Amino acid sequence: MSQNIIVPDIGDFESVEIIEVLVRVGDQIKKDDPIVTLESDKSSVEVPSPFYGKILEIKVKVGDKVSKGGLLLKLEANSSNDEQKKEVKKDVAAKEKKIVSKNIDTIKNVNRVIDQSSSKDDTDPLETKEWIDSLNSVIENDGPSRASYLLNKVVSKAYSAGLVLPDTRTTPYINTIPTELEVKSPGDQNIEKKIRAYVRWNAAAMVVKANKISSELGGHIGTFASAATLYDVGMNHFWRAKNNNFGGDLIYFQGHSAPGMYARAFLEGRLSEKQLNRFRQEVDSGGLSSYPHPWLMPKFWQFPTVSMGLGPIMAIYQARFLKYLINRGLLKDEGRKIWVFIGDGETDEPESLGAISLAAREKLDNLIFVINCNLQRLDGPVRGNGKIIQELEGSFRGAGWNVLKVIWGSYWDPLLKADKTGLLMKRMNEVVDGEYQAMKAKGGAYVREKFFGKYPELKELVSSMTDNDIWKLNRGGHDPHKVYAAYHAAMQHQGSPTVVIAKTVKGYGMGKSGESINTTHQQKKLDEQDLLYYRDRFNVPLTDEQVRNIEYYKPDENSEEIKYLKERRRKLGGFIPERSSLAKPIKAPPKDIFESFMKSTGDKEMSTTMALVRMLTNLLRDQNVAPRLVPIIPDEARTFGMEGFFRKIGIYAHEGQKYEPEDSEQLSSYKETKSGQVLEEGITEAGAMSSWIAAATAYTNHDIEMIPVYIFYSMFGFQRIGDFAWAAGDAQARGFLIGATAGRTTLAGEGLQHQDGHSHILASMIPNCVSYDPTFSYEMAVIFREGLRRMHEKNENVFYYITAMNENYCHPEKPEGADEGILKGMYLFKEYKNKGKIKIQLMGSGTILREAIAAAKILSEEYGVDSDIWSVTSFNELRKDGMEVERKNLLNPGGKKEKSYIEKCLEKRDGPVIAVTDYVRSFSDQIRPYTEKAFYSLGTDGFGRSDTRKNLRRFFEVDKEHIVAYTLSALAKEQLIGSESAEKAAKRYNIDKNKAFPTKL
Ligand SMILES: Cc1ncc(C[n+]2csc(CCOP(=O)(O)OP(=O)(O)O)c2C)c(N)n1
Ligand SMILES: [Mg+2]
């Protein structure tokens, strides 16, 4: 049966041009195969076939303009359309499949309800008791589920009766898992205790030793001392390493607890004593990084976390990206987990908690946060007047996380059991963190007096205990049993992310030198007495002499401790942390994908953003590259003309699409799907960047090479997420960052806070970031192609920052032989050499190169000044080359001088340089030292403002008229011409000499 294929609903557009016909008569096509590409003045979009079949007749050609309903082609629909029907059915079935939340009912952990001590509001205590008794009886006789049901019913009734109910974001200040429900650790506690002691000792010794060499080296003891048990239980029982059979759990270590990881690796035989002795001495190779830095220890560290707040958000998006890879069918679901260690002070960073709602929304049950609540940060208490654990519980519960509080250690269990009135729990609730901190600094007698002493009944409760017994009442985060039980529960939990909030003591075991005192964080030097105390505190088998020499302790290879430790890791698949990559390079896409961009666009105007989107669309047709592309957009796809991607490759949504989108009839309909490829992040540059980093490091963390392309307003890029970009460099990310709507005057109407004139300067500071400001689509194509080659075919650890503009203009054909220059940073675009004797070297980048080109014409035709016009695709790359060559020459004063690329380009060229960009002058000024020519730069220094492009370029003095006038003036200054032409030009173009410098306006 013959079918007509017509132009579907393309939104508000009429008469849209066909720029590609992707099929031929006789082709057998499948449903959704693209048949033509349409392009409006802002975006291009492919039209997919609604049917399976053979093409009978094509009714359109490239260049035709079409509107909704226009006939595109005729097709002989074949029987495969039955398959199509099947697919539809499958879709519907998938949508209808109910998502069963396996959320563990937290109520079921409650097995006993304690009547709080009587309050003045309790007008009838007997009645209160009856309520509590009946609840207890339901729990005992009918189980927690029934009790929970009844309570929910009562609560609903209370709400509908208009009662004000208590805030239930937080639970009492006790462990979430009751003692009776704790799963016991299968480990040998004695051996584990010894191992932990050695790790603690070696970590502290390493820091102290380094500071004997020089106190400049620094380091931290107190943080790891507080977290040692939290790490140790994970290392011995939970964290599975990457190996041939398993992808590996990913652990984000708290940055300044790094000494503990080195100390364990030393016991494991992975680091030598010599290496420990080189802690924080990295200049000559073989030293250990202060913190987790994959750039410096590429076989060890995976995640740069020490800039606080970045770890938590990067990990959330990592967990989300892992699910994305699984849902897209690129990775097996092996139940891998992402563990994240965070300090309680670190939760103050907006990035730390900023994305926790996303984690719950996306049901990231592969994510486990462990917050080490030692109640202190660097200067003092985290919440002296409150309780950080309760505050965090409220935030995480509110966001929909599974919260497991590990507050009290086992020594408290009998006391809590004996607390029949609930008074102990009441006291635990009322003490603030400042007091809890002071108690751990001041000893058992102080705790008896200040904590238990407040109520006679509590004083009585501990009357048979010595001060030492009271001192031993431990915190949950130091109790391996409690930590094990919480981690076990976290591993089992499904349907939402888990946070383990553990209470610890900062500087645990350090005694007077730094246990729970405000200066603990800074403690990096322990004197002899402190070290002896530390050794005794953890029973490290070293003699006094060995302690004085600050020797490390490592038992014999055949000792039970070393055998145990290695066996545990063997069982868990290998060592952690360890960084490696088994990813295969991506096969190069065919040349013709980029070929069309090398030709002139004729009269057709387009922006470099459109060119890039077209390039990506072409790449999505290549079977090797297509699945690996990860377009990442923070709610700006329509701004960048990328809405065509929605329908074509889908927006990733772990639950698919539960609704019929408003625009479902349209070609660029908002299509969310479980296997979607686009990461549509919403308005979060930090989140989008975290996704980009996860994708850009997938080659190591998931052994699969991905090509992330994150496109954003260039002003909200490096300026906004600069620290993430730095971390990405450290993590050896590979991918594309696209600063769109770039340039101070190009994004005309948007004004001061949108117009970017400095992102390239920021990008230039990251050593492995390669950046370009191309003008023409062939430049964009050459650069993008080379980026793919270097990063994803040759596996070079660099990442690309490319600015793209929204200004539409015609693009010329690529000049012969320009490729090398495009990539190195500059090439000769055009020469004027027939008019005058005077010459200038005119340089420009981005859209402002076009002003320079126009200025060159005026200079030649009207002033008899010839020019060489250079398209400078990257002042940043030119500077890198200039610096390197200059250094080499300085190091070889007697040797043959090498020439920088800039020198080579300019050596046979006359006249001063005029460089002009849509960025601050320091962008082009970067290359000033590498040429002996007189150098003048024009740029857009100052605050942007909204106006037309023309007016803005006049304001910032980068339009063709100013370029002409300034050039003539520069030539006069160089005594190549008289000053009259410059004066005349200024008058002619109405240049106001009295206008203030734009930075002052
Ligand atoms: C973004 C950032 N700001 C400041 C610091 C400096 N700094 C390092 S550790 C620290 C205190 C950390 O306190 P907390 O998070 O509670 O960790 P703890 O050491 O107590 O486990 C500070 C302020 C940093 N590393 N990163
Ligand atoms: Mg802390």
pLDDT per residue as tens digits for the range 286-298: 999 999 999 999 9
pLDDT of residue 835: 64
Q: Buried b / exposed e across 114-137, counting CB within 10 Å, b at 16+?
A: bbbeeeeeeeeeeebeeeeeebbe
Report the alpha-carbon distance of residue 388 to residue 373 in Å, rounded.
Answer: 7
Q: Return d(Cα 203, Cα 264) in angstroms, integer.
A: 8
Pairing of strands 44-48, 679-680: unpaired
What is the reported pLDDT for 793? Answer: 96
Report the amino acid identity of residue 339.
Answer: W
Nearest CA to ligand 1 atom 12: 377
141 CA to middle of ligand 1, Å? 49
pLDDT tens column, 183-224:
999 999 999 999 999 999 999 999 999 998 898 998 898 999
Query: What digits encode the pLDDT tens for the residues 576-597?
Result: 999 999 999 999 999 899 999 9
Whose C-alpha lies nearest to ligand 1, atom 10? Answer: 378
Residues of the chain with pLDDT > 70: what percent?
96
Cβ-contact 769, 761 below 8 angstroms = no
When pLDDT is averaged across residues 644-652 and rounded to a whole number, the result is 94
The answer to which of 53-67, 489-503, 618-632 has the lowest mean pLDDT is: 53-67
Please give the pLDDT value at position 109. 43
Going from the C-alpha of 530 to that of each of 505, 525, 554, 856, 895, the distances in angstroms are: 17, 9, 21, 75, 57
Residue 10 confidence class, pLDDT cut points 50, 70, 90: confident
Alpha carbon of 345 to ligand 1 centroid (Å): 7
What's the pLDDT at 97?
Answer: 45
Query: Is the CB of 308 within 6 Å of ligand 1?
Result: yes
Distance 306 CA to ligand 1 centre (A): 8
How far, CA to CA in Å, does 792 sit from each of 276, 446, 628, 785, 797?
Answer: 35, 62, 10, 10, 9
> Ligand 1 center to residue 378 CA distance, Å?
6
Nearest CA to ligand 1 atom 7: 378
Going across the sheet that includes 935-938, the strands are 826-832, 865-872, 838-844, 913-916, 935-938
Q: Is 263 in the pocket of ligand 1 (CB under 6 A)?
A: no
pLDDT at 371 over 60: yes
Q: Which residues contact 1001 (CB under 8 A, 6 or more apart)?
A: 942, 943, 955
Per-chain mean pLDDT for the chain:
93
User: What is the arithmetic mean of pLDDT over 653-666?
Assistant: 95
pLDDT tens-digit series, residues 68-122: 899 999 999 876 555 555 554 554 444 444 333 333 333 334 455 555 545 667 8
Residues 6+ apart with CB under 8 A from 551: 205, 542
Task: Tell whether ligand 1 has an atom less than 6 A from the beta carbon of residue 433.
Answer: no
Q: How confident is the model at residue 904 (pLDDT cuts 50, 70, 90)?
A: very high
Which residues are bridge partners to 343 per DSSP?
372
- Cis amide prior to 912 (ω within 30 degrees): no
Q: Which of 253, 313, 346 to mutate to test the pocket of ligand 1 (most atoms within 8 A of CB)?
A: 346
| Sequence-distant (≥ 6) Cβ neighbours of residue 540 within 8 angstroms | 197, 198, 201, 534, 553
Has residue 906 got a pLDDT over 90?
yes
Residue 193 near residue 496, CB atoms below 8 Å: no
Closest CA to 839 of 862, 870, 866, 861: 866
Q: What gap in Å lies between CA 653 and CA 673, rounded to an integer?
A: 5
pLDDT of residue 98: 39
Looking from the CA of residue 255, the nearest atom of ligand 1 is 25
The residues, any chain, with a CB within 8 Å of residue 284's CB and separated by 6 or more, are: none
Q: Which residue's C-alpha comes closest to atom 19 of ligand 1?
A: 223
Token readout for 220 is: 């931290």
Closest ligand (CA of 312): 1
Does the Cβ of 372 fall within 6 Å of ligand 1? yes
Average of per-residue pLDDT across 968-973: 97
851/132 Cα distance (integer angstroms): 81
Q: Give the separation between CA 6 and CA 772, rounded to whole angstroms.
A: 41
Least confident among 78-87, 656-665, 714-723, 884-893: 78-87
Q: Which atom of ligand 1 is nearest to the CA of 307?
A: 26
Question: What are the percentages of helix, strand and coil residues in the chain, rounded to 5?
Answer: 45, 15, 40
Q: Give the span between the Cα atoms of 971 and 990, in whole angstroms.
A: 20
pLDDT for residue 114: 52
Ligand 1 in reach of 223 Cβ (< 6 A): yes
From the CA of 689, how far away is ligand 2's center (Å)?
A: 27
DSSP letters, 22-84, are: ---TT-EE-TT-EEEEEE-SS-EEEEEPSS-EEEEEE---TT-EE-TT-EEEEEEE-TTHHHH
Structure confidence by residue, pLDDT tens digits, 766-777: 999 999 999 999
Rounded Cα distance, 604 and 193, in Å: 74
**With 50 as the cut, is the pLDDT of residue 351 above it?**
yes
Q: What pLDDT band is residue 435 in, cutting at 50, 70 and 90? A: very high
Q: At 388, list the tokens.
A: 């950080």
Q: Is residue 366 predicted with pLDDT exceeding 70?
A: yes
From the CA of 867, how far away is ligand 1's center (Å)? 56
- Phi-psi category of 158—alpha, beta or left, where left has phi over 0 and alpha has psi -120 to 50? alpha
pLDDT tens-digit series, residues 694-741: 999 999 999 999 999 999 999 999 999 999 999 999 999 999 999 999
User: How far, in Å, from the CA of 987 to the mean position of ligand 1?
Assistant: 59
Q: Ligand 1, residue 227: give the atom nearest the CA.
A: 21
Pocket test for ligand 1, best of 256, 353, 508 (most atoms within 8 A of CB): 256
**pTM score, whole prediction:** 0.92
Question: Measured from the CB, is residue 872 less than 6 Å from ligand 1?
Answer: no
Model confidence at 874: pLDDT above 80: yes
What is the pLDDT at residue 520? Answer: 80
pLDDT 10s digits, 510-537: 888 888 888 888 888 888 899 999 999 9
Atom of ligand 1 nearest to the CA of 343: 15
Q: What is the mean pLDDT of residues 38-65?
A: 89
Bridge partners, residue 771, by sequence: 801
Does the pLDDT at position 303 exceed 70? Answer: yes
CA of 302 to the centre of ligand 2 (A): 23
Give the ligand whose atoms come closest to the C-alpha of residue 507.
Answer: 1
**pLDDT of the residue at 95:** 45
